Amino acid sequence: MSVPSKFKALFAEETNGNIQVSVKELPASVLPDGDVTIQVEFSSLNYKDALSATGRNNVTRNYPHIPGIDAAGITLEDKSGTFKQGQKVVVTGHDLGTNTFGGFGEIIRVPKEWVVELPENLTLKESMIFGTAGFTAMYGIERLKRELIMPESGPVLITGATGGVGSLAVYFLSRMGYDVVAASRKKEVEFLKALGSKDVISSEELLSVSEAPLLSRKWAGAIDTVGGELLDSVLRQMYSKGAVACCGNVLGMKLDTNVLPFILRGVSLLGIDSAFCERDQREKNWKLMAEIGVNDLPEGFYKMVSLNELSAEIDLILKGGQKGRVVVEH
């Protein structure tokens, strides 16, 4: 296997200040310098990819660009000698798909430090059913566990629960024996229960709580993928010594809250930066996901798309309309 001279990619280009994507065939010479060249077989769609593909939130500074923060495939060559040719590997996070050409291209070239061997018990496709979404959910759970939030501590709330990170957080936590409550704007009770939620509440209910600095204690832990006012409500509803893993900002980047949950209840707000997760923890997150596997995911949890179908899925994720995961097959 050698590096092909051309490859297909979803290419994001700037015209008069607007970013537009199209599927293009590109010469391999556009790939950056790096150690490991990978034939990408599968990628997946995350919210951040949609921001990169549409020029939002400064996720990507320079265009033209190939988005795709996730990639699973086979090594074509490794100048560092760390990986054998033909090895199955996964790359998520770091700078992949943000400012380095990413997994929406059939080939990527990255530093060896970004590459993880495909975990045992997972296929390349299964690794992308999880992708950064699953990785982030598992990283959030690991951070809650470090704060001693265990199944016996009490219920754990997941916000944005039908989205990628949210739905996989529900799935993993319920398999680990936690009582999970899913908060969603969508009427998808059946889907969320099939994933493992014990109960489902509406996000509106969380957003319409009183403005009191502390509210009645409801959650031992929480994984928040939404941010903004919703995160403020969650913080005010935490048990004493509860912990909230803060992952996302689909509702906004600002957090307007008060200090009483922290100074009177000892609540911890944990930052989750999955892109830069340290290597030991990175490998552990993959191992834990592989142990749970994909077999118990409900029917229809993910959809397979080609590069040509990706644009419509990008529009849908930007509207908060995705349910579960979108896997890209090259």
Ligand X SMILES: NC(=O)c1ccc[n+]([C@@H]2O[C@H](COP(=O)([O-])OP(=O)(O)OC[C@H]3O[C@@H](n4cnc5c(N)ncnc54)[C@H](OP(=O)(O)O)[C@@H]3O)[C@@H](O)[C@H]2O)c1
Rounded CA-CA distance 242/55 in Å is 37
Output 107 or 182, the one with its CB closest to ligand X.
182
Residue with tokens 């059913």: 129
| Residue 160 within binding range of ligand X, rule CB under 6 A | yes
Q: What is the largest CA-CA distance in the chain?
A: 63
Does 303 engage in binding with ligand X (CB under 6 A)? no
* Residue 234 in contact with ligand X, rule: CB under 6 A: no
CB of 321 to ligand X, least distance (A): 7
Given 185, 193, 265, 303, the residue binding ligand X (CB under 6 A): 185
Number of residues engaging ligand X in binding (CB under 6 A): 31
Contact between 133 and ligand X by CB under 6 A: the answer reads: yes
250 in contact with ligand X (CB under 6 A): yes
Interaction of residue 184 with ligand X, rule CB under 6 A: yes
Range in contact with ligand X (rule: CB under 6 A) among 100-108, 122-130, 157-165, 260-268: 157-165
Q: Which of 8, 24, 125, 186 forms a contact with ligand X (CB under 6 A)?
A: 186
43 binds ligand X (CB under 6 A): no
Instruction: Please identify, among the stretches 45-53, 80-88, 173-181, 294-302, the one whose residues bind ligand X according to the rule CB under 6 A.
Output: 45-53
- The yes or no reply on residue 136 touching ligand X (CB under 6 A) is yes
Q: What is the 3-state secondary structure (H, E, C) of the chain?
A: CCCCCEEEEEEEEEECCEEEEEEEEEEHHHCCCCCEEEEEEEEEECHHHHHHHCCCCCCCCCCCECCCCEEEEEEEEECCCCCCCCCEEEEECCCECCCECCCCECEEEECHHHEEECCCCCCHHHHHHHHHHHHHHHHHHHHHHHCCCCHHHCCEEEECCCCHHHHHHHHHHHHCCCCEEEEECCCCHHHHHHHCCCEEEEHHHHHCCCCCCCCCCCEEEEEECCEHHHHHHHHHCEEEEEEEEECCCCCECCCCCCCHHHHHHCCEEEECCHHHCCHHHHHHHHHHHHHHCCCCCCCCCEEEECHHHHHHHHHHHHCCCCCCEEEEEC
Kindly state whether residue 40 participates in binding ligand X, applying the rule CB under 6 A: no
Stretch of 103-111, 147-155, 209-217, 273-281 contacting ligand X, by CB under 6 A: 273-281
Is 305 an interacting residue with respect to ligand X (CB under 6 A)? Answer: no
Establish if 134 lies at the interface with ligand X (CB under 6 A). Answer: no
Q: How far is the CB of 84 from ligand X (least distance, A)?
A: 30
For residue 168, give Cα distances in angstroms to 66, 316, 325: 26, 19, 9
Of 203, 160, 162, 158, the C-alpha closest to 181 is 158
> Does position 200 bind ligand X by CB under 6 A?
no
Closest to 125 in 3D by CA, of 42, 202, 56: 42
Q: Which stretch binds ligand X (CB under 6 A): 75-83, 120-128, 147-155, 181-189?
A: 181-189
CB-closest chain residue to ligand X: 163
Among residue numbers 202 through 221, which ones bind ligand X (CB under 6 A)?
A: 203
The residue from 96, 180, 226, 244 that contacts ligand X (CB under 6 A) is 226
Comparing CB distances to ligand X, the nearer of 26 and 314 is 314
Rule CB under 6 A: is residue 251 a binding residue for ligand X? yes
Q: Hey, which residues between 71 and 110 contact ligand X (CB under 6 A)?
A: none
Residues of this chain that interact with ligand X (CB under 6 A) are 46-48, 132-133, 136, 160-166, 184-186, 203, 225-226, 247-251, 272-275, 317, 320, 322
